[in-house]
Structure 1
Amino acid sequence: MPLSYLREDLVERTVKTPGPDHPITVEPHPARIVVRAAGKVVADTTRALTLREGTYPPVQYIPLEDVEPGALVPTDKSTYCPYKGDASYYALVTADGTVPDAVWTYTEPYPAVGPIAGHVAFYPQHVELTEG
């Protein structure tokens, strides 16, 4: 049977712990962050968390409660990270239209990154993120 027919809930998932070969840190961001999409503010926070993972660029996780109501619409997309867990996605509603799967969240992240629960991250190509 082709792999495309396997049910995801029956596939064993590897859970990995961050370490020297794949470090992950989560720290409070020291400055205010404003996120704009199509020129409109969609999030404004002084409570962002910066996640640094290996050699990837840092990612700002914004508390969901600091995102403008109506800016996000849940989608059906989901992905899996062996270090963070199951990610779900949101479409971003902008003045120029809706951008599918532009925002992600880990509702129940693995303990190593537990603080990012209740936070969302924006794909940088869809928003302007400024500090200050």
Structure 2
Amino acid sequence: MADHIKIRPATGTWVVRAAGAVLGESKNALELTEGDYPPVIYFPRSDLAMAFFEPTDTTSTCPYKGDASYFTIEAKSGPVPNAAWSYENPKDAVAEIKDHIAFYHEKVAVEQV
């Protein structure tokens, strides 16, 4: 793993909300820190209401984590485009984040409860 990336269990219970609706709650989330960036919480898919997630055509590539796929969240008030991302086949060094989804804090609320 790149020395500037650390993955550890996120302490406590985490919840993600979009447009007031709870999309998931987890005691098994992961916290990924990368360099000077703020920590990112990755939720296991099994703890999310995946029926509200619609894959998009948006992709990006991280040289350390691999290719990211994005999701629009279908909220009651309307879609929240590209609000979440996942590494479907992450690089071996960050394999723990496979089957996990992270969120843009500007688009949804991610909180420790």
TM-score range, shorter chain: over 0.9
**Percent of aligned positions that are identical:** 42
Q: Which runs of 5+ in 1 are unaligned?
A: 1-16
Which stretches of structure 1, 4 residues or more, deviate above 6 A after TM superposition?
Answer: none
State whether structure 2 residue 97 is matched by structure 1 residue 129. no
Query: Equivalent residues in 2 for 1:60-75 (5 A)?
Result: 60-75=41-56
- Name the counterpart of 1:36: 17
- Name the counterpart of 1:97: 78
Residue type at the aligned position of 2:22: V
Report the TM-score, using the length of structure 2 for normalisation: 0.95
Residue type at the aligned position of 1:72: F
- Name the counterpart of 2:57: 76
Q: CA deviation at 1:89?
A: 0.6
Q: Structure 1, residues 86-123: CA drift from partner, whole Å, max 9, x if none?
A: 00011011121011111000011111111000000010
Q: CA deviation at 1:30?
A: 1.3
Select the structure with the greater relative contact order (CA < 8 A; seq sep ≥ 6). 2
Q: Secondary structure, in 3 states, of the residue corresponding to 2:49?
A: coil
Correspondent of 1:117 among 80, 90, 98: 98
- Structure 2 distance, partners of 1:76, 1:50, is 26
Q: CA RMSD in A?
A: 1.0
Q: Structure 1, residues 32-67: CA drift from partner, whole Å, max 9, x if none?
A: 001111111011111100000000000000001111
- Name the counterpart of 1:46: 27
Report the TM-score, using the length of structure 1 for normalisation: 0.82
How many residues were matched structurally?
113
The structure having more radius of gyration, on CA atoms, is: 1
